[in-house]
Amino acid sequence: MVAIVDTEAILRSLTLEEKVSLLAGGSFWETVAIPEKGIPSIKTTDGPNGTRGEDFNGNSSAACFPAATSIAATFDPEIARAVGSALAQEARSKGASCLLAPTVCIHRHPLGGRNFESYSEDPFLTGKLAASMIRGVQELGVAATIKHFVANEQETDRMSVDETIGERALREIYLRPFEMAIAEAGPWALMTAYNKVNGEHCDVSEWLLTKVLREEWGWDGLVMSDWGGTNSLAGIKAGLELEMPGPARVRKPDVVLEAIRRGEVQEKDVDERVRTILRFLVNLKAFENPGGPTPERAIDRPEHRKLIRDAGARGIVLLKNDNQILPLSLDKVRGKKVALIGFAKDALAHGGGSAAVNAHYKITPWDAFQNAYVGGNVEFTYAKGVRKERLLAPLGKNDQRGTVVGLDGQPGFTLSFYDPLNPTSSPTATKHGYETSAYSPLGSQESLWKVLELTGDFTPAETGNHCLAGSGIGKTEVFIDEELVIRQEGNFSDPMGVLFNAQTETEIRHPFIAGRTHRLRIRSYPPRNVGLEILEGRTGFRMGLALASDADADDQGEAVRLAREADYAVVFTGHDPQWETEGRDQESFHLPRRGSQDALVSAVAAANRNTVVVNSTGVAVAMPWLDDVAGLLQTWFPGQECGNSIVDVLTGSVCPEGHLPATFPRRIEDAPAYGNFPGTYDDGGQLKVAYAEGVFVGYRHYDRLSKDKVNFPFGFGLSYTSFSLEDMEVSRGTKDTFTVACKVSNTGKVAGGVAVQVYVGRAQQRVEHPVKCLVAFHKVRLPVGGARTASMLFTAKDFAYFDEARYSWVVDAGRYDVLLGKSAADIAQIVSVQVEHEIIYTP
């Protein structure tokens, strides 16, 4: 029998000091416990495609699931729900009961650094999939945290950027997925965004957190800040329950108590925040397990392996298939030579930042190909093609570039901590056997206000002028044999980039001798006035090295030679977590590094007409080589089974069924936010960005342009089979509900799936309204020759616009086209319906 928890009685039992203590986290991931009053702590964990646990340096492995864009490309809510359920299991294995996901911000611009972590450019698709994912998480008793509320569409100056957004655009595009997911799935928690909207930080906005979220939408869950995103005590009144991470920085108990004494904060507002926190703990059944979070475990579940492989494959989008070059079935390539080039021996499983996971394992395409063609008499060759990394790789404990021994004489580095007031004294703590020449300051307090020194004796595997680079959040120095070779005088110019290994470092050359021991020493100081509260005083650094033989190799020449000798060439392109990450927007619409990947594809395609490109990015990229290649797959970040998922589609064991959740423009200049991303600085140094495109985001914008501006439209996706959509009917239910039914047939030669999409637009277009918007979709899978009726329900609210003057959602009376298609540009049938009278929805 479940005990009933009287939260009001608990609230009455608390002193003011105790209530104030609950308003911020107790540690980086956990809330505050008050054992004597029976209040337990709970643990949170990142994130959207895997539960990393508390250690940013990755000592505890976890399952790595497909990123949100990959899930969105399936157009399948059931896959989103299954992934949500699996993530809840993973969260439990990490002792956590609150998952910091899903991310539902909109793909406003292709250069958005965190787009991969969000679903789509379309708010309807985003809202539906987020709702399904949330249901999957919370069915197992783990809280989902929908984020980031609201309009966190860029990483540049994300802590302070001021976004000017009209209310219509806010309502129809940016708030809409939150509104849908809250109405349909009821997430138990919500995370505020770092940025300002119309001059006000989101965490202190009464309009957002009280009027819209709680009064209009009727939501009663817990609101937490993004990590380091609590800006003032005003959030207590506005509706922010929890400052994260802890211990408190803004809501220090003595500061809050003094503000209450001065009348700047009301105790009734504190009570309301604590009341919500207690209800949240009840939802999580935390009072039934007062011992607090359990120890972390790394559980590699076979059913999760299967789900990740299947979901990753079903999100892959076939964009080009000239002369049916794909699939590369065993019968097609038996006795042939296949050149695998580029990222073939890399596993591009996830992006960087909160979504980065120390996966249980990662399958590369190279390994997956070997397993798929066992006994098939297929010869595979490999060439790296280009240097792909943004940063030189850090040295590791077991490294092919050479051996590293710490001060204790054992493999690894020695990490020493010093008092910053007396940095030349003996270390306050020492760790031997440290794995790598990089240190992340997040996840613990050990580096807070400490000088860190990493020391190791490096014996290189070869002689040469090797490349070296290093940086830190604060002042950092790198020594080789006690010679200072790199000096960073103060804080790094892009501290967020350093945090997520996305900075641009200066590289030097230094002579090393094979077999000789070289002492490497990195000394880094805690940063002050870093401009990012979460990093204040947290020491972090990295050092990377590349052997001269790697740095000077003719990688492209080798790739072209192998391609010329092969029957087929498969070029794997994309972004690793250093190029696509939280904390930094994309530097270019083109693939990195400095155009080298584009040049590689063009050179390989010129050498072999049977060239297929497999692109792993979470965003649209420029494709100047598109006309030159025979085949193209967009694979996103498919998770730890990435190689298997990709090869399953390449070989035809899975028929591609993904559809683009974002438009792929031909040029960045044609993107809707071009010229207004990431904004401009005013005279006071404040970054400001105008959402001048209004509601014309994604295909809503491209529908107004000529088709030659787009490489591939929203919703596009080819297959190894073919489908017909016929016999469309639209029936009216109540005054504002509609049902679309159509016959879907597999007219090709293999079983497969297709996402049937329904759009609605005005029969008589008006310049202030989009041509159409997505209102329904349904994934249909059919055997060869199979057919079935797909039925999809939508409401007038799904194609309403927000009238700012009347503060209402409005559907004008008139004629509307209901469009049935396989993409925003491939419309099979149109049926018109009449809305006899204006329909108004009041928030």
Q: Could you give the residue ranges of the DSSP H alpha helices within 113-252?
A: 123-138, 167-169, 176-185, 206, 234-238
CB-based burial of residue 368 (10 Å sphere; 0-12 exposed, 13-18 middle, 19+ buried)? buried
Cα–Cα distance measured from residue 40 to residue 5, given in angstroms and rounded to the nearest whole number? 13
Task: Kindly provide the b/e burial profile for residues 312-326, where b requires at least 16 CB atoms within 10 angstroms of the residue's own CB.
Answer: bbbbbbbbbbeeebb
Are 688 and 682 in contact, with CB atoms under 8 Å apart? Answer: yes
Cα–Cα distance measured from residue 392 to residue 546, given in angstroms and rounded to the nearest whole number? 6
| β-bridge mates for residue 336, sequence order | none
Cα–Cα distance measured from residue 639 to residue 648, given in angstroms and rounded to the nearest whole number? 14
Cα–Cα distance measured from residue 842 to residue 801, given in angstroms and rounded to the nearest whole number? 12
Contacts 24+ apart (CB under 8 A), 271-275: 271/11, 271/19, 273/22, 273/23, 273/236, 273/239, 273/240, 273/241, 274/11, 274/14, 274/19, 274/22, 274/23, 275/7, 275/8, 275/11
Under DSSP, is residue 612 helix (H, G, I), strand (E, B) or coil?
Answer: strand
Cα–Cα distance measured from residue 161 to residue 587, given in angstroms and rounded to the nearest whole number? 18
The active-site residue out of 46, 226, 310, 555 is 226
Instruction: Look up 803 and say whether it is catalytic.
Output: no
Cα–Cα distance measured from residue 759 to residue 493, given in angstroms and rounded to the nearest whole number? 45
Handedness of CA 340, 342, 343, 346 (dihedral sign): positive
Cα–Cα distance measured from residue 430 to residue 441, given in angstroms and rounded to the nearest whole number? 16
Under DSSP, is residue 197 helix (H, G, I), strand (E, B) or coil?
Answer: strand
Cα–Cα distance measured from residue 559 to residue 609, given in angstroms and rounded to the nearest whole number? 14
Taking Cα atoms as reference points, which of 570, 653, 549 lies closest to residue 381?
570
Cα–Cα distance measured from residue 485 to residue 510, given in angstroms and rounded to the nearest whole number? 8
For 718-784, give the DSSP string.
B-SS-EEEEEEEEEE-STTEEEEEEEEEE-SSS-EEEEEEEEEEESS--TTS-S-EEEEEEEEEE-T
Catalytic residue positions, numbered: 226
